Amino acid sequence: MTMQRNDGAASATTALAGLGLRRGLLDDFARLSADDIDFFEVAPENWLHIGGRLGKAFRRCAERFPVYLHGLSLNIGGFAPLDTDLINAVAGFMRDFDCVLYSEHLTYCADEGHLYDLMPIPFTDAAVAHVAERVRQTQDILGRRILLENASYYAAPGQEMSESEFICAVVERADCDLLLDVNNVHVNSINHRYDPYEFIAALPAERIRYCHIAGHFKEAEDLRIDTHGAPVIDSVWSLLDASYERFGPLPTLLERDFNFPPMSDLLAEVSRIRHAQARVLAAEVSA
């Protein structure tokens, strides 16, 4: 079955900058305009079947901005049967709110119950086949492609190939797209001692449709923790620039999950995304 790409995911050259919607930011989002952000992203599990005050606030946001979805609990790498109820609920949510795309983490997160963490999938040929089949099942139910995000990880059990080789093999075999999380590349490059620019260069340009950027925590010189709880650092901004130069000014989301600063600080980071995208577009015009 050939999967459709939705309009937002297909517009890989469309320079858009968004911000993750968290409940702690709802009041701030009510005051945003199209001059501030181009779209917002949510974890669908956190908003499915939500009514009352929160549901009304979400609907008001969805009436003003395009909605992107980034799932937390599909457990795409796990062995428990796929949660088809969740997939169907996400499909309904996408129809209700005309959601631009749906991405998930290239991880597993359940084993006889939800683990409440995103665990690493072994980089093996067997895991490639297993994950690809589950992605295809998911896409068959949705009737559209999904995106998988390169995940942060702190151990690589049973590793038979590199992280980039594993990602390339999964998205090719599954015939899905890729969400490039630039912060995760930086974090993993420190923790697992590889060159982040070589990693980005090894990814399949034709599959990358969307980017994330975020802050993290410096636990030690050789250990970074992916937290989404701090400002984006210069090294990660530089990786975003390199990604745009290679793949074009992809739609990009600023993630912030806690330790929320004033909205003006978050919008300054969104503006920095826009300026990075503008530089690439200007270079393309002058070339």
SS3 18: strand
CA distances to 28, 126, 137, 151, 274 from 31, in Å? 6, 49, 40, 32, 20
Q: Which of 246, 273, 245, 210 is nearest to 12 (CA)?
A: 210
Q: What is the pLDDT of residues 204-250, one digit of tens each?
A: 999 999 999 999 989 989 989 899 999 999 999 999 999 999 999 99
Classify domain 7-286 at the CATH superfamily level. Answer: Divalent-metal-dependent TIM barrel enzymes (3.20.20.150)
Q: Enter the tokens of residue 18.
A: 């968004």
* Average pLDDT, rounded, for the chain: 91
Query: Which of residues 218 and 180 earns the better pLDDT score?
Result: 180
Which residue has 């929160």 as its token pair?
Answer: 54
Query: Which of residues 11 and 77 earns the better pLDDT score?
Result: 77
pTM, 2 dp? 0.92
Q: Which of 125, 113, 8, 122 is nearest to 68 (CA)?
A: 8
Rounded Cα–Cα distance for residues 263 and 265 (Å): 5
Indicate the pLDDT class of residue 148, thresholds 50, 70 and 90. very high
> Using only C-alpha atoms, what is the Rg of the chain?
18
Residue 113's pLDDT is 52
Instruction: Assess whether pLDDT exceeds 80 at residue 8.
Output: no
Query: Which of residues 10 and 38 earns the better pLDDT score?
Result: 38
SS3 68: strand
- Count other Cβ atoms within 10 Å, centred on residue 157: 11
% of the chain surpassing 70 pLDDT: 91
